[in-house]
Structure formats: structure tokens, C-alpha cells
Structure 1
Amino acid sequence: MKESTSLVVIKVALYGISFLVSEKTCSHTSRKPFMWKKLAGGIDIEEVKKIVKTDTLSGCVISHAPGTGKTRLAITFVQSYLEVFPQCFPVIIAPKGMLDTWETEFRKWNVKIPLHILNSRDIHWHGDKTVEKLASNDKDLARRLSISSIDKNYMHALKLRSWAEGNSIIGLSYSLFQKLTKGEGNDDDKLRQMLLQRPDLLILDEGHTPRNKESNIFKALAEVRTKRRIILSGTPFQNNFEELRSMFSLLLLANFEAMDFFPSSKLHNMTDVMVDEIMKKLDPFVHIHNGDILHKSLKGLRESVVILNPLPSQKRIIAMMEKHKTRGKHPQKNKTQGSTFESEYKISLASVHPSLVAGMEKLPKEVTSVVDELPLERLRLKPSEGVKTRFVYEVVRLCQALKERVLVFSQFLEPLELMMQQLRNEFNWTKGKEIMYMSGNVSPKTRKTLMVAFNDVESEANVMLASTKACGEGITLVGASRVVLLDVVWNPSVGRQAIGRAYRIGQQKIVHTYNLIAKGTQEKAKYDTQAKKDQMSKLLFSSEPQPAECSRSSEFISNDRILEQMTEDEDLKEMFVSILPSQW
């Protein structure tokens, strides 16, 4: 006898996606009903219905590698949970840039219950019993719905009414949730209470986002009544144990205080015993899947650290900036965190191309005198005058013959804008055609259009210049097989997420990544700190074996046609100090 759709959906959530597909293709191979046990108390539906109102339940962390389908798994669970508890009023909170991904996934998998994004002016209302009933009784509303001509506040109210009546799921960004739960004014206070008290299931996508316990979003989420919380994060350990503790305190609420997670411990003094103890305490609440599906189904990932030798003028500028930065550390009381970040920002730009220094404010006098000597504006469009722009230019040039596309990430917009100008000048390319550019200022609709065009093998796209902040999460860019990380950030998960845009399901080629480091800067020390953090993250949230000793540089280069050509070129070989396999 054929099973009902409802029963199939419930079985999928109980036993994993593997219920529907073979082990060879399954990205969630664990058959343990982990989510149901943590959020509902078991897998016996009748028994679960009896205990769901008790205080014995908790949330869970789904720590699956980027690109392995956490969103799909969460959607399947929500579907099945709604089949058993139709009045659970689910809320999905995610970074704004990822909400479109949720909407797309809901439509892709034909989820019966609508998802309404509060950040969006659009509404997909067909199948929504609340909205359909209102529209059937109000022809003017039906007309305005059909042409998307509805006031923002009324649209909010319409979506929230549907959700409050149990006919839809709502999704919103962390920033909007924080804003709506301020509760200023009578109507706003009603909305605040609705969002804090009504949800019985809360999903936090990229759930490491509210990891600062002093932030307003952390405080707002801590007030949500329900204990049934799902944190989705491929990188739960971001920078330190205090952040990890904060994230888990959102998950476990009051019960968490009894658990000692060594919040004051630093990476350098953690012992194996301490790590093992933390893992044991985290284990009941965390489901780990480290991406075996990627290793088995994709062609490979080859990550390298490329240490580059800046040009003479560039080297002088960097040396003076580093000297001034070091001198400024004493006395320490005069050094602020803001000034440290500002110094790092300026040195990072100088390591890309010296022209990025032009026009900077508050430069040391020694640097200003050197900058004034150079015709920086005249050199601006010449990639060969900056060691990192030169590297990017050569990779892009050589990739054309191999019919490969390049993805360039930076945490700063200035280098991306400069390289766009340089590539347009050198190759006579057009923005939006051969060159794609994606920053936080790009609308979700335009971002989706760019993503589709870049991944289309028939398009003329050659390179995507992307902001790590705007494109590090929720974006698929499998059209690229070469990924360049232009600068080094303190948080290793930022780089891991960036690489995960290309190295994910749908990728058809080996992905080569290049972490660029300029000699004479603190970038190598920063990268080494990154590697230690990433190592700790893997110890806590990965079951994969630790990597063996790195292969020799010569072997590594010979496996990369682009690096091999560049290092053998007499005009380019002096650019390289060393090339090492990544420590991540």
C-alpha cells in the first residue's frame, strides 16, 4: 500500500534524507532521529504528543559542512514537525542575504505551507488559506496582490496574520527581528510579544551570528519563549571559547550555566584533556556531518598559501606602515582596537596595489613622503605595479585558455573596484558581462541574476569580484574553479565559507584556492592564528581525521597548471617567495 505524503515526510525527518535516497548519494547519512529526539523528545509520535508541553526538551546544533544541504534538512524537519504539531508557529531567522535561498528552496521542494519573508515586499500567497480567504472577499486586495502594490506595513500585517493563524511560516533577518522586538509603542509592543511568545519552533540559520552576548540581537533572541531551537552552522567555533559559550547559552538557556566550557581559556593553553571534556559536553546537542558527500562526489579541493614579494615601491610603503604600527603599540594604553584595525586595513590595501594608499587620511609622514614621490594615479590601472593585483591578473589571463572562471574575494571594496577597472582596461571587458561584481549594495534580485549568469557555462563571464561579507554565506558560485582570497581575516570561518561558495554540490571541476600573503606584513602571522582556530574548530566539530604532513611545495605546484606556468615564467617567478599547501 502506498504511504501518504505526510507519513513519508515524517519518516524523512525521523530517519534522515537517506530514507529517500541511496547511501551513495546521501548527504545526511546518519539514520539517527537526532532532531526529533532533541526537539520533540522521541520518535514515537503518540508519545511525543504527550510530552511536548514539558520542560524536558532542548534545542540542537546542526553542524554540517558548508554546501551539504543544511537548509534542505531543516525544511524537511519543519514539514514533518508541522504534520504532527500544526500550531507550532515556526520562525526562521537568517542573515538577510540568505533569506532568498530559503524562499528558493521552499519553492524547489514544493513545500505545501508558504514561507513569508518579512524583509521582502513580495508575497507568494497562493496556497495560503488566510490570504486566499481575505482576497476572495476583497477584490481590491486581490488586485493589489496580483500587481504587488501593497503598503509595506500592511504587507507585514498580512504575513503575520497568516502566520498567527497557523497558515504559513515567517522568515526574517537578524537585524529586522532585533528591530521588531524593541516594542516601542502599543502596536509595536503587541508585535514584540507575538514574536517572543508565540513561536514554538525557532530556526537560526548561520546561528553563530548572535555570538556576542552583549549585542542587542543576542538579548532579543534570549527572550524568545521556546526552548525548541535549531542552530544551523557549518562553523560554530568562530574566534574563541567565549563566543562558543554564548552561542550555546542561546540554545540551552538557563541550563547552560551549570556547564563549564572553559570560557576563559585561550587557544594556546588548551590541552587534549580539556578539548575532550568540552567535546563530551557538546556531543548530546550537536549533530556533526563534515562533508563526506563533497569529498566523494566532487573532483577535489586544492588549497594553497601563496607568499608574494611586493615590488620595491610597494615594499617601502608597507615597511614604513608596519614600522609605524609597531611603534604605535607602545605605550599600550594609547593604542585602541579601532586604530589597530585601521592600521591593518591600510596595510592590507597597500599590499594589494600601492595606488590604494593615495588619498588615505592620517598616514604617517614617512609614508606620505614616499607616496608623494610616486605617480600613483598614473599607475592605478596597471596591475603589474601591485603584487596581488598582478597575481590576480595573471590567473585570470591564464584561466581563459583553460576555460576556467575565477572568483576573487576581499573583505574590502576598494581592491575589488580597482581590479574591476584594471580588468576592464586590460581586456576591454564589460561589467555585468565578462566581469561580475557582487557587494553588499547589490539587491537580492540582482544578486540572484548575477549568480545564475556566472554559473551558466554558456555565459561570457570570466571573473567574479566578491565581498566576503556579502557573498560568504548562502551563495552558490560553482561556475568558478579558481578562488583567490585577497586578504587575511582573523576569523578562519570567513575564508572557509568563501571557498564553500565554489566547492559545493554542483561543482564539476577541481577547485584551486589561493590565500595571498604579502611578505613584510603581519599577514602570515595572522594566517597562522587562523589555522590554529580552524584546527580547534575541526577538533570540536568534525569527525574527519587530522591531515597528514603537508606535501612538498614542488609537488603541490606541479598539480596546478596555473601555478606551474606562473612559477616557470622568467618575468613572473621573482614575484613568488614560496607556495605552501594550506594549513586549514
Structure 2
Amino acid sequence: EGHTARNEQSLVWKALKKVETEKRIVLSGTPFQNNIKELYNTLCVVSPKFAADLEQKWASLSSSIDKNARALEELRDIISPLVHKCSENVKKVSLPGIRDTVVHLKPTDLQKELLRRIPENPSSFYEQNLVSLISVHPSLVANRKEFSDLESQLKERGCRSDPDTGVKMKFVVELIRLCGGMKERVIIFSQLLDPLNLIKEQLSSLFVWTLGREILYMDGKLDVKQRQISINSLNDRKSDVKVLLASIKACSEGISLIGASRVVLLDVLWNPSVEEQAISRAYRNGQTKFVHVYCPVTSKWEVDKIEQQTRKKYHSDVLLSRNHEAKMDPSCCESEDTILESMFEHEGLRHIFEKLSHAPRVLPPTTCLDSCNQPPKPSS
């Protein structure tokens, strides 16, 4: 996870900069994280002298990438001596395939009322979190002062326990139910813990499932031993596990969750690499089933975030490919999603869907940045 050293204010970045060694290698599956500046910071760790020579030109080119189509390619050519990229075909050959679907859902009347009180383009993290919570289930904002006039309705006994009140909750519950019948397991990733806890409550109530048996839960507070027990249980084909509810911050790196073949990203993050890492917990060596990834959205803001993520992924693709010949994985279209299609066409569920968008993907590479090859000085 060499991309950890990407913030010049972080302790790990400062510590690595002080290490006196001539040769350096950084290995990462997702070297491009939030922006191009962070990639430059990682290059500073890999080859300090090269990065210093590059500083002014990097700043000039990176500031013009949205206006100058050649800027990204120039940056790619400059750093190419440092970049060694694993072939995109590796996962294609060894894994059954993967498909990404953006699931556009219609919020309930109560959700619409709550969302109307928040700016269409929320600027603060607080407002963005409110949108994320409301989109899952209205009861998650029952104690927020902004909705005090609706407090009695939000705290109504039947509201919190009713999945029909929140469209994302309804989608998740039905998906898990149908996947269980098809012997497929689901991972629900969220950056917020309250939605995961509510899903846990509703699954326990609706299906009489037990935490630790049919339901697994993992966040940053889970001790290492119990964490490994949960991982082993998910990956054991003979266990009774139906679903893993996981904090995306605590479970997006370094573990194998190949026992699941369905992944739901409950909320949209600013950093697409965090989502890619989370997806790669299931879509990795050892996976024997086709992997389906779902990103449910209910608001224009969430759709806009996905578009911004797509732009970041394009930047990463150009910067880290040798000649921008990365190809879309054709296997992403080879497996029909009978479960999602049955939900979309079901008379009792059709009303929750607006549309489905299938997104082609570039197979994520493993990238090595190193200072072993002495690159030529960048031209001014």
C-alpha cells in the first residue's frame, strides 16, 4: 500500500523522506488517489531528486489538465521511467469477471421531504453525511435538529423497523434476501456506521438472523482475532453467512473477502481508489464467481460525485499507462445479473427503480514506482 505516503503533512511521508537510501521501490494497487498532487508527493518519496527537478513543470501541467488534452500525456511521458505497470490482462485471465452497476433509485415521499431541506449541492461534510443517511433510511436523522418538526414521524415505532420507508434500505434488504436463495453472499460497504447498524437490526428482525452466524459486522473497533474469525467465516463455503456489513475505512485494504460475489457501495466517496480497493477485497485471486458491484444513488449530488470519480479514474488511467492502451474488460458484460433484473422487473419492486446504468471498467493494475532506473531530466 505504497500510496499511503501521499500527503506531505503526514508523519509517514516525513519519516520516509528522511530515510537515506539510494534505491527505493513503492508498490501499490492504486497509486493515484485523490488528485495529481498526491501522486507527485509519492514520487518525492520514490525519487526525491527527480521530483525536485520536476516540481515547476508538474505544477504547470497539472493545473491545465482540464483545458489541455496533452497535459496528462506529457506528465505520463515524464514519469514513465519510474513506473512499472502490471498487465491489465492478469485479472482478466484468472478471474470470472466483474460488472459495475449504478442503481438509480426513487426516494420515498418522506425521503424527498428531508432531502429538499438540504442544498442540492451540499458543500460541508455534515450536509453530505445527512444526504447519505437520509438516502438509506429517514430514521437515521431522527435526532437532527434540522428535522425537529418531523421528529415524531421519524421516531414512530414502525418507521425504524420498516425497510419500505427508505429506498436504499429496501434495495439492500431485497438484494440480500434474493442472493441468499442463490447461495451468493453480499458485502455492504459504508463509510458511516449508523446505516450498517440499522441494516443489522432490520435483517435480524425480518429474517431472524443472528450476528456472528448469518450476519457479520466489521469496523475499526473489532479486535484482530475476531476480525480474522469473521473473514474465515465469510470465505468458508460451508458457513451460514449471508452478508458482511463492513466499514469501508476499516476493511478496504489488505484482506481477502472472496467468499462474497456481490458488493454494495452504500455511499459514494470522493476518493475512487478507496472504492476500488474495497471492491478488490472480493474481486481478487481465488474468487470463483462473477462479481457484481452496485452503487445505489438517490440524488443528483451522488450522481455528480460518480461523474467526478470517473474523471479521476480517467486521469489515473492515462498517467499510469504506457501509451494509454488500457482496454475495457469485456468480461464485464458476459454475465447477466438475473438477481438485479428480477428485482427491476418485479411488480412489487419496480416502483423503487428509476434506471440502471452499467459502467465498463478498466482492469485495475498493480503499479510499482521505483528509483532504480535513473530517468532523464524533464525538459523545461
Does the alignment reach a TM-score above 0.5? yes
Gap change, CA 1:548 and 1:470, over 3 Å in 2: closer
Aligned partner of 1:439 in structure 2 is: 219
Contact 2:138–2:165 under 8 Å retained in 1: yes
In 1: Cα distance, 2:156 partner to 2:269 partner: 26
Choose from 309, 323, 337 the match for 1:560: 337
Aligned partner of 2:207 in structure 1 is: 427
Gap change, CA 1:355 and 1:229, over 3 Å in 2: same
* Partner deviation per Cα, 1:131-177 (whole Å, 9 max, x = no partner): xxxxxxxxxxxxxxxxxxxxxxxxxxxxxxxxxxxxxxxxxxxxxxx
* Partner deviation per Cα, 1:70-89 (whole Å, 9 max, x = no partner): xxxxxxxxxxxxxxxxxxxx
Choose from 319, 335, 358 the match for 1:540: 319
Say yes or no: does 1:209 pair with 2:35: no
TM alignment of 1:401-550, pairs within 5 A: 401-519=181-299, 521-542=300-321, 545-547=326-328
Gap change, CA 1:268 and 1:284, over 3 Å in 2: closer
In 1: Cα distance, 2:337 partner to 2:12 partner: 44
| TM superposition shift of 1:369 | 1.7
Contact 2:290–2:335 under 8 Å retained in 1: no
TM-score normalized by structure 2?
Answer: 0.88
In 1: Cα distance, 2:353 partner to 2:151 partner: 25
Contact 2:98–2:291 under 8 Å retained in 1: yes
State the one-letter code of the partner of 2:137.
H
Gap change, CA 1:245 and 1:455, over 3 Å in 2: same
Displacement over 4 Å in runs of 4+: none
Choose from 36, 39, 45 the match for 1:244: 39
In 1: Cα distance, 2:169 partner to 2:125 partner: 22
TM alignment of 1:209-288, pairs within 5 A: 209-260=4-55, 262-263=58-59, 265-266=62-63, 269=66, 271-288=68-85
State the one-letter code of the partner of 1:497.
Q
Gap change, CA 1:307 and 1:376, over 3 Å in 2: farther
Gap change, CA 1:368 and 1:263, over 3 Å in 2: farther
Secondary structure, counterpart of 2:297 in structure 1: strand
| TM superposition shift of 1:546 | 4.2
In 1: Cα distance, 2:335 partner to 2:224 partner: 40
Aligned partner of 2:141 in structure 1 is: 357
Choose from 100, 116, 119 the match for 1:322: 119
Gap change, CA 1:406 and 1:498, over 3 Å in 2: same
Secondary structure, counterpart of 2:169 in structure 1: helix
Aligned partner of 2:364 in structure 1 is: none
Aligned partner of 2:158 in structure 1 is: 378
* Partner deviation per Cα, 1:341-360 (whole Å, 9 max, x = no partner): 11101111111100100123
In 1: Cα distance, 2:154 partner to 2:191 partner: 26
Aligned partner of 1:149 in structure 2 is: none
TM alignment of 1:76-115, pairs within 5 A: none
State the one-letter code of the partner of 1:239.
N
| TM superposition shift of 1:458 | 0.5
In 1: Cα distance, 2:223 partner to 2:321 partner: 35
Choose from 343, 354, 357 the match for 2:127: 343
Contact 1:408–1:486 under 8 Å retained in 2: yes
Gap change, CA 1:298 and 1:255, over 3 Å in 2: closer
State the one-letter code of the partner of 2:84.
H
> If you compute each CA radius of gyration, which structure gives the higher value, 1 or 2?
1
State the one-letter code of the partner of 2:58.
F
Contact 1:240–1:266 under 8 Å retained in 2: no
In 2: Cα distance, 1:349 partner to 1:266 partner: 35
In 2: Cα distance, 1:491 partner to 1:319 partner: 26
Secondary structure, counterpart of 1:512 in structure 2: strand
Say yes or no: does 1:312 pair with 2:109: yes
* Partner deviation per Cα, 1:287-340 (whole Å, 9 max, x = no partner): 1014422111211101111111110001110121235x66xx7xxxxxxxxxx1
Gap change, CA 1:418 and 1:510, over 3 Å in 2: same
| TM superposition shift of 1:370 | 3.0
Point out the more displaced range, 537-546 or 493-502.
537-546
Q: Could you list the runs of 5+ residues in structure 2 that have no partner in the other structure? A: 362-380
TM alignment of 1:50-199, pairs within 5 A: none
Contact 1:393–1:423 under 8 Å retained in 2: yes
* Partner deviation per Cα, 1:472-522 (whole Å, 9 max, x = no partner): 101101111111000000111111111101111111111011011113x41
Contact 2:142–2:155 under 8 Å retained in 1: no
| TM superposition shift of 1:210 | 2.3
* Partner deviation per Cα, 1:246-304 (whole Å, 9 max, x = no partner): 11111111332111453363586253322221111211111101442211121110111
Contact 2:252–2:278 under 8 Å retained in 1: yes
In 2: Cα distance, 1:565 partner to 1:381 partner: 25
Gap change, CA 1:295 and 1:548, over 3 Å in 2: closer
Gap change, CA 1:472 and 1:263, over 3 Å in 2: farther
Say yes or no: does 1:571 pair with 2:348: yes
* Partner deviation per Cα, 1:38-82 (whole Å, 9 max, x = no partner): xxxxxxxxxxxxxxxxxxxxxxxxxxxxxxxxxxxxxxxxxxxxx
Gap change, CA 1:290 and 1:525, over 3 Å in 2: farther
Secondary structure, counterpart of 1:227 in structure 2: coil
Q: CA RMSD in A?
A: 2.2
Contact 2:217–2:244 under 8 Å retained in 1: yes
TM alignment of 1:33-48, pairs within 5 A: none
| TM superposition shift of 1:568 | 1.0
In 2: Cα distance, 1:509 partner to 1:548 partner: 16
| TM superposition shift of 1:393 | 0.4
Gap change, CA 1:239 and 1:448, over 3 Å in 2: same
State the one-letter code of the partner of 2:285.
I
Aligned partner of 1:19 in structure 2 is: none
Q: Could you list the runs of 5+ residues in structure 1 that have no partner in the other structure? A: 1-205, 330-339
